[in-house]
């Protein structure tokens, strides 16, 4: 399996920002990979080699605020429209006119929005974990296309005695950063384990908003006031087979150097992003699209409303692949299934 160390690093200047990436492959069509939180280009190590071997030019970027990319200091500098513009500029900086964009977690929200708002650049899209959510980005239950302001639907999900984790991150700037940075390696190890199928139990059939919200309230996604977020994550007795000490080393080195303030900034722009994308409410996603979810991933569970209307909101979609016995870290937990689905999709959409 790929370790990620064999890929070349590249830095490009796009407008006011510096974007670092790992690149592989040659002269084939460009595939741009956008990681989630708390991850890095390393999370795409298995896909980069498979895509390069299939002839594609591959670039896995450090998102704004992460790794060796620029660290904007104002929260609104990491708004979704800036992330889309920066990602589109990366395509041009790499000498391409178009690209297929693939994202996971927050990277999926960026990837969907890139293809939704800039189909002239992003000609196809794959989203992992988080389904297409329109102006709402996170495809939350009860608001699959962003019908309701994010902070409002988050309050409804959490209920009167809990706080949705994204609101918890936003409430007191610096609070979560101090919590997580006390033991970066410990937090990352516990987070990767606790939100994977190595820890998560099979999820019962949940149909209504109240059923889904009730299940979410029993997870670390809904925080009791005054309780550190890190306390909801469990340390494994040993690492699962899909995650090595070398992988933890790679992530820990990055976050010990950069901290969590930049990476967490995207959680603090949810309402602003919703307002910025308001004029696009109801617009369909008009490029070929594929969704890949894990059957135990909380994002797949909360995104069931969005998955159910995928045919309606993405009329050129190539379906939804739900990977069995898989948690949140889909491309790392089940790389063979993800690679097969992505390569089949790319073969179908390439001219």
Q: DSSP string covering 236-290, please?
A: -SS--TT--HHHHHHHHHHHHHH-SHHHHGGGGGHHHHHHHTGGGTT----S-EE
Neighbours of 162 (CB within 10 A): 20
Active-site choice (17, 42, 46, 328) = 328
Asked about 105 being catalytic, the answer comes back as: yes
Contact 127, 292 (CB under 8 A): yes
- CA 175 to chain CA centroid, nearest Å: 22
- What's the DSSP call for residue 132? P
The pair phi, psi for residue 99, each rounded to 5°, is -155, 155
Neighbours of 119 (CB within 10 A): 15
Question: Tokens 């639907």 belong to which residue?
Answer: 153
Neighbouring residues of 310: CB distance < 8 A, sequence distance ≥ 6: 131, 132, 289, 291, 317, 320
Active-site choice (62, 104, 105, 247) = 105
CA distance 265 to 260: 9
CA distance 33 to 81: 18
CA geometry: angle 217, 220, 225, nearest 5 deg: 75
CA distance 25 to 318: 25
CA distance 219 to 297: 12
Catalytic residues: 105, 328
């Amino acid at each position: 399996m790929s370790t990620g160390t064999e890929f070349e690093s590249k830095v490009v200047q796009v407008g006011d920002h510096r974007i670092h990436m790992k690149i592989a492959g040659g002269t084939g069509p460009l595939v741009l990979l956008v990681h989630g939180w708390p991850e890095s280009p390393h999370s795409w190590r298995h896909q980069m080699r498979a895509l390069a071997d299939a002839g594609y030019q591959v670039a896995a970027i450090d998102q704004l605020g992460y790794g060796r990319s620029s660290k904007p200091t104002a929260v609104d500098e990491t708004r979704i429209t800036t992330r889309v513009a920066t990602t589109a500029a990366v395509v041009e900086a790499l000498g391409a006119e178009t690209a297929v964009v693939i994202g996971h977690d927050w990277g999926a929200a960026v990837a969907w929005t890139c293809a939704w708002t800039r189909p002239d650049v992003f000609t196809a899209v794959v989203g992992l974990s988080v389904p297409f959510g329109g102006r709402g980005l996170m495809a939350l239950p009860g608001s699959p296309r962003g019908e309701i302001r994010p902070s409002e639907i988050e309050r409804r999900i959490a209920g009167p005695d809990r706080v949705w984790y994204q609101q918890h991150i936003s409430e007191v700037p610096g609070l979560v950063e101090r919590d997580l940075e006390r033991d970066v390696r410990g937090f990352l190890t516990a987070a990767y384990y606790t939100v994977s199928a190595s820890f998560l139990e099979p999820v019962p059939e949940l149909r209504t908003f109240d059923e889904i919200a009730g299940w979410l309230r029993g997870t670390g996604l809904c925080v009791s006031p005054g309780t550190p977020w890190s306390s909801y994550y469990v340390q494994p007795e040993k690492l699962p087979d899909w995650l090595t000490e070398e992988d933890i080393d790679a992530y820990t080195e990055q976050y010990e150097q950069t901290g969590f303030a930049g990476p967490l900034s995207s959680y603090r722009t949810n309402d602003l992003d919703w307002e910025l994308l308001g004029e696009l409410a109801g617009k369909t996603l008009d490029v070929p699209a594929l969704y890949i979810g894990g059957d135990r991933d909380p994002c797949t569970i909360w995104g069931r409303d969005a998955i159910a209307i995928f045919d309606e909101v993405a009329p050129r979609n190539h379906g939804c692949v739900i990977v069995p016995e898989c948690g949140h870290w889909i491309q790392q937990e089940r790389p063979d299934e993800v690679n097969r689905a992505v390569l089949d999709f790319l073969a179908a959409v390439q001219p």
